[in-house]
Amino acid sequence: MGVVNVTPDSFSGDGVLDPLDVARRIHRVVQEGADVVDIGGESTRPGHSPVPAAEELRRVLPAITSARDAGALVSIDTRKARVAREATRAGAVLVNDVSGISDPEMLAVVAEAQAALVLVHCRPLVSRVDIAGQVLADLGRLVEHATFSGVERGKLIVDPGFGFAKTWRDNLFLLRDLGRLRALEVPILVGLSRKATISKVLGVSHDDRLEGSLAAASAAVVNGADMVRAHDVKSTRQATAMVDALVR
């Protein structure tokens, strides 16, 4: 899954707003081998300024068209049901909601669109004992809630939410125990690309996180991830494909 942030304040520093720059970014992501293009119009960085739905749609709808024209499957990264509705009508086939379904209308929108849905863990941990167990239980409840609300189980994907309400040490423990999420019997998506955890572990700057990102993505594949969300698509695809060939 290749990331395209149509924002001025992305945590990864790769946000773009100019339509031509967005189209070029999408073309590059597809050429480098992304199976899915994940388009977001609102930053998820700590302390970000909320974006009204109308502005978010103004940003993402042209990008969705560009991604479809490039032949890519499109994911919309949003926490708003209104944005998800318009994005799926425009051609997005997957909704990536990093809020853990905070909008009460989201599940109905996804069910009506017959879209796939990423359920992201973002609840605060109640303790540092058995982190993977807590994430497994919380995601299990989200899966049941989604299916009860009409979303097909076969269209669900879970994301353990690295970096969301978790410390860098929490992220490491969770990555080591990622395989426990296989008990949910739905695909696992991980997003570790350029996360602050990498700087914490390696002592590198924001601009020097590539090698750490590749190592983390590779470890995720070894431990059971089915899909990896990445900013550096070509490098990540090559690294994870090699690991996949070795361990599966």
Catalytic annotation on 195?
A: yes
d(CA 228, CA 232): 11
Backbone angles phi, psi at 65, to 5 degrees: -60, -45
Taking the CA atoms of residue 134, residue 139, residue 141 and residue 144 in that order, the dihedral angle to the nearest 10 degrees is: -160
Amino acid at position 101, single letter: I
Contact 127, 135 (CB under 8 A): no
CA atoms of 196 and 206, how far apart (whole Å):
8
Say which of 59, 194, 229, 237 is annotated catalytic.
Answer: 229
Instruction: Give the active site residue among 79, 195, 209, 237.
Output: 195
CA distances from 110 to 59, 98, 114, 139, 213 (A): 20, 14, 6, 17, 31
- DSSP of 119-153, one letter per residue? EE--SPPS-SSSHHHHHHHHHHHHHHHHHHTT--G
Residue labelled with tokens 């905070």: 102
Greatest CA span in the chain, whole angstroms? Answer: 48
Q: Is 229 a catalytic residue?
A: yes
Report the catalytic residues: 195, 229
